[in-house]
A and B are shown apart, each in its own frame.
Chain A
Amino acid sequence: MSLLQRLYAPQAQEPGKGRLASAILLTVLAAIAILVPLLNLTVPADSAFHVPTYLVSLLGKYLCFAMLALSIDLIWGFCGILSLGHGAFFALGGYAMGMYMMRQIGDRGVYGNAELPDFMVFLNWKELPWYWYGFDFFPFAVVMALFVPGLLAFVFGWLTFRSRVSGVYLSIITQAMTYALMLAFFRNDMGFGGNNGLTDFKDLLGFDLQSDNTRAVLLASTCVALAGCYLMCRAIVASKLGRLIAAIRDDEARVRFLGYRVENFKLFVFVLSAMIAGLAGALYVPQVGIINPGEFAPANSIEAVIWVAIGGRGTLYGAIAGGVLVNYAKTVLTGVIPEVWLFALGGMFIAVTLFFPKGLVGSLPAAIDWVKRRIGKRNPPASSPLAEEPGQ
């Protein structure tokens, strides 16, 4: 087996494991959803228990990234599809929500035009392009935030899986996809605000985006959405379908010979994953206040893959932890050591790869085993030692 094939060899854990982790994750999410807004809104600012507002929006942002990581783990960890273009689905979801909020601005833009967003007034556009129709209606925007990424994933996946493009070729053309979309959205003629993207949002469903209440609700909704997506993914990977998907990952040809339409299953997971990413994007935009073509940059997608790997591929909860962890590290490092933080981040990527092959969280069970053995020296080793993967 060549190196190329090994690259896509299975590495995930068995899906049945990790009940404890799920319980912990859901508890933490519930705690964040309830406690953080409570501590932010009700506790006075000078109290030690007060959670400052910037932390609320920061947490919201991390959780959106975690949801993106979750969507990548679903296809990468369980179906063996390494997508280097998932940022595209995330950004498309974000644009859908951004377009809704742009329409909500109404005549409060700088030029006071009730019909057109500022950047269109400015480019001398006379009327709203057809693809902006419907976005003043919230449910439509939400549906679009799921539908557009899903549609793109469907078309892309339908073409690709049917012609059996796989492995590295698939990864690189997903990169081509997000790169092409980035270039396209950069164009001002596209009608999505060009390089500046969509910004200057005022409110969502009539609630002021700058108020603490709205922020708290957004954070809570993100927690709920993330928990929901997690449970859904977990249910899928634990089901019969999940086993089939894992089988495809492990030996696609054999599953095909058994009579399954492999491409249909792959397509289903791919589209689902894209929709989760789209939802993450839709939640992300109101919390950071801007969506622009930079989100399509191939580097962003690669970074999202790295979150998954850092947390632990094929565990779902590991991906979520990885998304939060890496972004937290980024926040801290860019503030504390702004001049050299890339050394720290880059070093972290290298170190985790070399020393924690299953990712930080993915290595935890083994680490716990190891600690148990170290302390008690009673139990025989339950799993193989950490760094020594069986050679393939």
Chain B
Amino acid sequence: MSLRQWMRGGALRFLMVFWALAVLVPHSGASAAEDLGTLVTELGAASLSKKQAVVDRMVATGAPEVVPILEALVGRDLYTRKSDGVVVIGQKTSGGKLLLTDPLTGSEVGTVGSREVKRIKTNNRLRSSVKAVMGTLTLMSPDPQRRLEAADGLLKSSDQAMLPLIETALAKEADAAVKNALQLAKASIKLQSGSAEERLAAVQSLADRTDPESRVMLSRLLLKDGDVWREPDETVRETAGETLASMERRLEMWRTVEHLYQGISLGSVLLLAAMGLAITFGVMGVINMAHGEMVMLGAYTTFVIQEAFRSLAPGLFDWSLAVALPAAFLVSALVGIAMERGCIRFLYGRPLETLLATWGISLVLQQTVRSIFGPTNREVGAPEWMQGAMESVAGITLTYNRLWIILFSFCVLGAVLLVMKKTAFGLQMRAVTQNREMARAMGIPTGRVDAMTFGLGSGIAGIAGVALSQIDNVSPNLGQAYIVDSFMVVVFGGVGNLWGAFAGAMSLGIVNKLLEPWAGAVLGKILVLVAIILFIQKRPRGLFALRGRAVES
């Protein structure tokens, strides 16, 4: 339900808006209501710095049409028509043109190309203040998301005049997030314009929080402008300082949690990238330098699938990744099988050359992709459910895309383990790994098993590409960025062991992220690499060394 529909919804709502506007009137200082039409034209012509004043005067008219106009302004949908300078609201049509409507009446006034109108410019400052003004207008919206935005706007403006409105809204509010934001806004207003007692109470009301906004508020109290404290009252200052210190203490623990989360998330990315390698390199002994390119192919498959979705079924875009997963697996697996059958197969007798041949293949694959898709980055979108972050947990941020990737990597690991341990193919694969001649003597078609194993490893790299497309560049160089790390993970964990790859990826990820805050990104990584080198001296065959005859021979 758009705001405009809601506005037209009934007299009661109209009154509500009008009441909210009425609160604003004395504040903005305009005495007589001006003609909205003139003001809108003026808004179109005003320079960026003058627009704020025009917006204030528009709000002061109290006309309900102001809301959709301001909404269009913030949403960058407000234009002036070049032919006659009339201000219009434009909405993109499917044909790339703009459907124009009159901002005052809402009636359609034609469709034009985008070069025939000029967007009315806004900047961050203007949008932020307009959003704050709009907060007062949309605070009673039935949509909780809208109310949340409104409350955030109120927090930003922290205008004393809004206090009664916030109190009314607080009393009715059921949604926890909105309530939270409203309380913050209330505290912020009190801190800025309340009496010393009220300020003290506001500081105390923030004691249980750790979120960045409340920390901003408190630390602001402790600032000095020249020699003058911003907060005149010493008790308030002291309480604020103590509260802030206790917040920091609590936060310290949460930060460790955050670093762990980041570490696990980096680890899961490494795991995804390395798992395929653990199979082709660990199980088959092929130094597959083209492994990174299999990841890249997966990412490009995602891009192609998403393009198809965009043009054929834009409404189902959120499902594109679900289609991309099997597609990427298939594409990479097929390329992998083709590589194995066409090239690597001939090298099993003298496998040292796999390094060379696969390096050649990786160059060819990179250039192929560059020739087909161009050298520039390609856009891979994120579905709705992978955007944003869980923010509420004590001021630390857990992003959804990382969360999904962590879950996803565990699922893939589980699936691969199942294949290896529970299927006939897995059994054959392990048999060939442990003793090729014996396996062949037992009637296992080693050639086919080799091809399938290589296909499986490559396919897993492909689905890793789907996940990586969500956090990294989709470019021909994508694979190169992960190949060295993947080798480190496999060697650190122990060649030929999926659990080793898991342990390797997780420990490297976590150690890296715990080091990063104090050592910096580069030094942290160097330390991790040196640690790997030293670790291998202690355990020359990695964390989980294979035991048995295969190792001894």
Question: Footprint of B on A, CB under 8 Å?
Answer: 1-9, 11, 82, 156, 159-160, 162-166, 168-169, 171-173, 175-177, 179-180, 183-184, 186-187, 298-299, 302-303, 305-306, 309-310, 339-340, 342-343, 345-350, 352-354, 357, 389, 391-392
Contacts and interface: CB of A to CB of B under 8 A. Distances in A.
Interface in B346-363: 346-357, 359-363
Contact of A4 (B364, B495, B523): B495
A80 B534 CA distance: 22
Given A7-B351, A340-B367, A340-B371, A173 B533 contact: yes
A172 B491 CA distance: 7
A349 B540 contact: no
Given A4-B495, A160-B537, A340-B367, A172 B488 contact: yes
B487 A163 contact: no
Nearest to B362: A346
B274 to A, nearest CB: 12
A6 B348 CA distance: 9
A348 B436 CA distance: 31
A28 B90 CA distance: 76
B522 A346 contact: no
B491 A168 contact: yes
A186 to B, nearest CB: 7
A31 B359 CA distance: 34
Nearest to A168: B495
Contacts of A352: 356
A163 B360 contact: no
Q: Is the interface of B mostly helix, strand, loop or mixed?
A: helix
Contact of A5 (B484, B541, B553): B553
Contacts of A186: 522
A342 B287 contact: no
Contacts of A7: 285, 287, 351-352, 354
B530 to A, nearest CB: 6
Contacts of A342: 363-364, 366-367
A3 B343 CA distance: 16
Contacts of B363: 342-343, 345-346, 349
Contacts of B267: none
Given A176-B533, A299-B480, A391-B349, A3 B359 contact: no
Contacts, number: 154
Nearest to A340: B367
B286 interface: yes
Nearest to B360: A349
A354 B480 CA distance: 24
B357 A354 contact: yes
Q: Which among B285, B366, B368, B433 has the highest number of chain A CB atoms within 10 Å?
A: B285
B436 A354 contact: no
B176 interface: no
A266 to B, nearest CB: 14
Closest 5 CB pairs of A and B: A349-B360, A3-B285, A346-B363, A346-B364, A342-B367
B331 interface: no
Given A163-B538, A176-B533, A302-B289, A349 B357 contact: yes
B526 A183 contact: yes
B536 interface: yes
B341 interface: no
A1 B433 CA distance: 10
A378 B522 CA distance: 66
B453 to A, nearest CB: 12
Contact of A2 (B436, B480, B487, B537): B436
Q: Which among B490, B491, B530 has the highest number of chain A CB atoms within 10 Å?
A: B491
Contact of B536 (A165, A350, A353): A165
Q: Which among B286, B364, B371, B530 has the highest number of chain A CB atoms within 10 Å?
A: B364
A80 B408 CA distance: 40
B352 A8 contact: yes
B542 interface: yes
Contacts of A175: 484, 487
Nearest to B289: A302
B476 to A, nearest CB: 10
A164 B545 CA distance: 14
B540 A179 contact: no
Contacts of B357: 349-350, 353-354
A183 B491 contact: no
Interface in B364-411: 364, 366-368, 371
Contacts of B354: 7
A171 to B, nearest CB: 8
B532 interface: yes
A60 B529 CA distance: 34
Nearest to B281: A168
A171 B540 CA distance: 12
Nearest to A352: B356
Contacts of A345: 360, 363
B350 A11 contact: yes
B20 interface: no
A305 B287 CA distance: 13
A2 B488 contact: no
27 contacts: A3-B286, A3-B348, A6-B285, A6-B352, A8-B352, A159-B533, A163-B536, A169-B540, A171-B287, A172-B491, A173-B536, A176-B529, A179-B484, A183-B522, A298-B484, A299-B480, A303-B359, A340-B371, A342-B364, A343-B363, A346-B359, A348-B360, A349-B359, A350-B360, A353-B353, A353-B356, A391-B349
Contacts of A2: 285, 433, 436, 550, 553
A349 B487 CA distance: 21
Nearest to B285: A3
Q: Which among B287, B350, B364, B433 has the highest number of chain A CB atoms within 10 Å?
A: B350
A11 B349 contact: no
Contact of B361 (A8, A310, A346, A392): A346
A348 B359 CA distance: 11
Nearest to B525: A183
Contacts of A339: 371
Q: Which among A4, A5, A164 has the highest number of chain B CB atoms within 10 Å?
A: A4
Interface string B506-537: 00000000000000001101100110111011
